[in-house]
Chains A and B, each alone.
Chain A
Amino acid sequence: MLVVGELINGMYKAVGKAIEEKDKGVIQKLAKDQRAAGASMLDVNTGPYTKNPKDAMKWLVETIQESCDAPLCLDSTKADVIEEGLKLAKNKAMINSTSSDDEKLEVLVPLALKYNASLIGLAMGKSGIPRDKNERMEHAVKIVTKCQEAGVPMSDLYLDPIVMPVNVAQAQGPEIMESIKEFALLCDPAPKTIVGLSNASQSTKERPLINRIYLVMAIANGLTAAICDPLDKLLMDAAITAELILNKNIYCDSFLEAYRTK
């Protein structure tokens, strides 16, 4: 599974402060630690309170790339902020994210093509959070069609069913699991799937447990990528074990270590 480390996000106090004070050490340590823990990509989000998000994105990307070679997942609601990161990214980047709205698709799909980046497509539109699997499928179909027309390969498209917190939207759980399974049936070759995992456990008392079980269930339904906290070792162990049970990796007694040396 592709693990996108979520910790470089201005929403977190320490990161927000580091961005404000241009403290490279904090960011570079987070980048290194997440890589060492098994993240294949690093999410980069300037956070909601940055006064100048374009400058912040530029600084973050440069700072991370000075210390490590991880591909980056450029996370912003603003296309110009994402493009600022795309311009500087040394490796194939990921755009986080478009929705099914035309105005989003028309800007972000060409951007993915221009920079040969992969693209996260949120299964939602202007009407807000989808209520069930059917609404998610409608949004997904629209995104897939748009990408196919434009020539974005399906191996570069990651559909996101929008994970909802289990304490406020419990009924969404099965809808989301089903959506992950059915996204893969939309076309052949199949688009990939991704979740923003930590949302599942927002404001609950058992966050690591909920995240861990949620991820394992999503993997069992065919999930190919997750934005999550790679420093949660039990979470990573659970994901590795889930893939082992699905026969995606060959067993050996030290399978956890073997996976991590990839």
Chain B
Amino acid sequence: MELLKEKWPGKIAEITIGATNAEGGTRASKITVGGETTLPFLFHEGDMPNMPRIAMEVLDTEPVDWPEVLKKPFGDALKDPAKWAVKCQDEFKAEIICVKLAGTHPDFGNKSAEDSAKLIKDVLQAVKVPLIILGSGDDEKDNIVLSKVSQAAKGERCLLGDATEKNYKTLTASCLADGHNIIAESPIDINIAKQANILISEMGFPLDKIVINPTIGALGYGMEYAYSIMERARYAALIDDKMLSMPFIAFIGQEAWRAKEAKTLFSQAPEWGEEESRGILWEASTAACMLQAGADILVMRHPKAVDVTRGYIGKLMGNK
């Protein structure tokens, strides 16, 4: 029997993160994601020229709400973002480092833009892989911090975020001026995702430098809702809606480790089983689902969850 195959006219944009010496940056490697002409891993209908990639998360301040299980693999490195990044790169083979400037938030440390710019320079010096750089989520402060940080990383072709429908102009202008890619965030809402992309592109920002952060939920916390939004956006992209034809970034670690199932201690809930594998599985399961939804960049935390997910990507890409 012959398989009924879908022919998709559209294609997801290909975006490259990181610039090598020859390109005006200092990265040893660069990463390209996107370019799909099919739904995830349906290789008989189209191609996925670039495999999904995993970025490991590094915070600018020692995390306070991470469970022991999650802190353990990093040890003292959690106190020093540059060391933490090196550990992720060298020991855990991270291909991208995602630095979240959580400590710049006015309510959680209020670090200055200058300190953040210096920190980014230190991390760029310490590691050779491409960087994703995130603000704290406070619009006003992000506009100050990310402008400085963007300048500090000029020419490195980082991925900066997040721009939102209500706060995109400053970050878009910075990324445009300093040669970075941008993350456009929307609250699990396809209409706002499309609107954010068009607003950013109307400032003259190229469509092949935008990554969609659709916002996701972890396993048990709206994961299937996020899946359905991503699936719908991908369908639209594949029938050639240019305003949705961007790669996705999914913040797996942040969502998975927020779940009580991931962080509750064994002593508090023995019936849930041993806590170490529980959190890792929660993160890896969420990652597996998001890969099937079309995620191109997964931002993750636990090295073992990263490992499992990397293996899973390898297997899925092996069917190509």
Contacts and interface: CB of A to CB of B under 8 A. Distances in A.
B201 interface: yes
A257 interface: yes
Interface string B214-243: 000000000000000000110010001111
A252 B191 contact: yes
Contacts of B233: 250
Interface in B172-200: 190-195, 198-199
A51 interface: no
B232 A252 contact: no
Interface in A243-260: 249-254, 257-258
Contacts of A252: 191-195, 198, 243
A52 interface: no
Nearest to A261: B242
B202 interface: yes
A262 interface: yes
A254 B190 CA distance: 13
Contact of A254 (B195, B232, B241, B244): B195
Contact of B190 (A250, A253, A257): A250
A250 B241 contact: yes
Contacts of B241: 249-250, 258, 262
Q: Would you call the interface of chain A mostly helix, strand, loop, or mixed?
A: loop
Interface string A84-102: 0000000000000000000
Contacts of B191: 250-253
Contacts of A261: 198, 201, 242-243
Nearest to A155: B7
A257 B191 CA distance: 14
Interface of B is mostly: helix
Interface residues of B, number: 18
A40 to B, nearest CB: 11
Contacts of A262: 240-242
B232 A250 contact: yes
Nearest to B244: A250
Contacts of A257: 198, 202
Contacts of A249: 236, 241
B210 to A, nearest CB: 13
Interface string B56-68: 0000000000000
A83 to B, nearest CB: 28
Contacts of B198: 252, 254, 257-258, 261
Which interface residue of A252, A254, A258 has the most chain B CB atoms within 10 A? Answer: A252
A182 B236 CA distance: 27
A250 B191 CA distance: 7
A253 B189 CA distance: 12
Interface string A203-234: 00000000000000000000000000000000
A257 B197 CA distance: 12
Interface string A160-185: 00000000000000000000000000
Nearest to A255: B194
Contacts of B202: 254, 257
A262 B240 CA distance: 8
Nearest to B243: A258
Contacts of A253: 191, 195
A249 B191 CA distance: 10
Interface in B53-86: none
Contacts of A250: 190-191, 194, 232-233, 236, 241, 244
Nearest to A257: B198
Nearest to B233: A250
B263 to A, nearest CB: 36
A57 to B, nearest CB: 29
Contacts of B201: 261
A138 B310 CA distance: 60
A218 B198 CA distance: 29
Contacts of B199: 254
A84 B199 CA distance: 44
A257 B203 CA distance: 13
Contacts of B244: 250
Query: Which of A254, A257, A262 has the most CB atoms of chain B within a 10 A radius of its CB?
Result: A254
A113 B242 CA distance: 31
Nearest to A249: B241
A250 B233 CA distance: 8
16 contacts: A250-B191, A250-B232, A250-B233, A250-B236, A250-B244, A251-B194, A252-B194, A252-B243, A253-B195, A254-B195, A254-B202, A257-B202, A258-B243, A262-B240, A262-B241, A262-B242
The 7 closest A-B pairs by CB, nearest first: A252-B194, A252-B195, A258-B243, A254-B198, A258-B198, A251-B191, A250-B236
Given A252-B195, A254-B202, 9 more contacts: A250-B233, A250-B236, A251-B194, A252-B192, A252-B193, A252-B198, A254-B195, A254-B198, A261-B198
